Structure 1
Amino acid sequence: MKILVLNAGSSSLKYRLFKDLKELVSGQIEHIGEDSGVKNHYEALLQVEKELTFRGQMSFKELDAIGHRVVHGGEKFTEPVKINDNVIEAIKEVSSLAPLHNPANLQGILMMRKLLPNIPQVVVFDTAFHQTMEPEAYLYAIPYELYEKYGIRRYGFHGTSHAFVAKKASKLLNKPLKNLNLITIHLGNGASVCAIKEGKSIETSMGFTPLEGLVMGTRSGDTDPEIPLFLQKVGLNADTVLNKQSGLKGICGQNDMREVEKLALKGDEKAKLAIKIFVHRIKKYIGAYSALLGRVDAVIFTAGIGEHSLLIRSLVCDGLEPMGMILEQERNKKNETFISTDNSMVKLMVIPTNEELEIAHQTEMALRDD
């Protein structure tokens, strides 16, 4: 089965082509609608088809299915669904919860339906994996009617990534996912932690929006709820400050952890501080989620920082030995899959994420079940 996975952003379009779940080609078109010569997503999709044809892969008409990433599914979607008019309307309804992402994601869907009306399309939601959380985990202690009227609750994000690495860990540990308790740590420019009990998400660090939780590239993560109100009182835009000017960038001026580490090695005190704050927050969540899970079989690092920064992994694991999490420094330096010692009660693992492959897999499964 040939499946094209699309991730449409407001001014970009990422794509990957899979055949029988093996990647054939990938690419990205940026600056759509700006000075790139690509006016809109429709033209971008035509360019994707030209690129695939030029590389000798196929034309769109040879596709068996298309899988789309959509950031927010609200409470309506707990699994991937085949696209129809009702699904499109439902995505529009929850777009107010992800105004920067859902409308752009929807553009890719609408344009592809226009180009290929007879090819089945499936949407996979970032929030779906976390819909197994219980009310005590997803509800905030605010007036209940605000949840009923506006849908204010914890949704969680990066669900596709957390689901992928959990399944991969199951294979590597040679144990059914339903028998495993895992803490998955997605560390990129955006970052989140997930507690997975017997294969299901029971808690995650991102909340109503992707702002909550860990320190990120430009996002603050957890803050006192009064801070946004205070920022507004002193004439600052709270959304801009907390989403675009905070996190690593807010502390030391750099949002890329690779650059932060370079500065820290040169003795930059603010870069050192940024790393300490970043690591401290992760440790807090590991401790909290260990308490919720009761038993932890593995802690998994993934995404850009998690997969490549041996320094961050080392600092995060330092001091966790009493919890049965013992890092083996040489394995960590070699970036091995298992970076814990042989006698570590909890396995420490590095698993590269592949959200597009997970979308392709879920697309295939959704069509088989249809």
Structure 2
Amino acid sequence: MNHKILQESADDSILQEDLDRISESDIPLEELKGKTVLVTGATGLIGSLLVKALQCCNRRKETGIKILALVRNQEKAERLFGDLLKREDLKLVIGDITMPVAVEDKIDYIIHCASITTSKIMISRPVDVIRTSLNGTENLLELAKEKQVRSMVYVSSMEMYGVLNLQDDQMVTEEMTGYLNPLALRSNYPESKRMCENMCVAYGTQYEVPVKIARLAQTFGAGVLPGENRVFAQFARSAMKGSDIVLHTEGKSEGNYCYTADAVRALLTILVKGENMQAYNVVNEKSHITIADMAKFVAEKIAEKPIEVVFDIPKENKFGYASDTKMHLAATRLMALGWQPETDLEESYRRLIASMKNRNV
């Protein structure tokens, strides 16, 4: 067989190292052996890495997992996965999650990653954000009920916490919730995430759907996709180009981060070992820093040439950034399942940039 077909990321040695490490980690692969896993949002960052990680487990560990990748755009999926689609363990399912999802295959597990995460779209197309979240999640829960799956993970967001009134050094656990203004346009994303979480609990209670919730922190690292424009990618490109980092806010929000490979391991751990109708923060507790301090960190420690942090704050929030938040997520519940983060913030950036260079992203 062609070597390129064997490797899940032949064009990116950094990402391939991550995928190999995931396959060799202590995730409970025995539970998934010979089973079928449906991944939604499979052309997104987390979804695509889950697909590639499961394929890597098949190649290295002979786990025989069948992967169904649910995507809207077949051409985009073919560009992203390339020769990986020639392997028998991966099948594309073409469909829009806002419509009822029809899958003929048996499904044992579902990881529901599909979501609109671009801040500008939250401002320009808020109805689409809500419709994708609510209709999409209901359709996947219906599918999980129909197929009588062994387990499902709904990928939520740390944004669902809203604005919390915290004491100094108080960490945010899964039982907490803060204030969200329903009349603020940008609330469409976190409000819909909250409603989807409650929908998971409703389906779990009324129909016994074995669903778990993963509240993702900002996740980045090797494997970021072309066109990625979230803050971490903007900072990385500035460091690579030797250009100043431009902030459009004061950068007071506290960011919580997790490396991509650590997040993939976390989702697979929650899928197999998590408690039904329970939420888990997916975060590296030590990768906690304000946006402004992270910009300074990248400028001083990561950039190869001297660059500065420049503030250019518009009068209106035309970029759709979330309001300033003070939040330090705790990963205690997830770590109790046996998961541990392996990659700190500095190494996350170095691997991110090396991966971006490999693929000219």
Q: Does TM-score exceed 0.5, indicating one fold? A: no
What is the TM-score of this pair, normalised by structure 2? 0.31
What is the TM-score of this pair, normalised by structure 1? 0.31
Bigger-Rg structure (1/2): 1
The higher relative CO (CA closer than 8 Å, separation ≥ 6) is in: 2
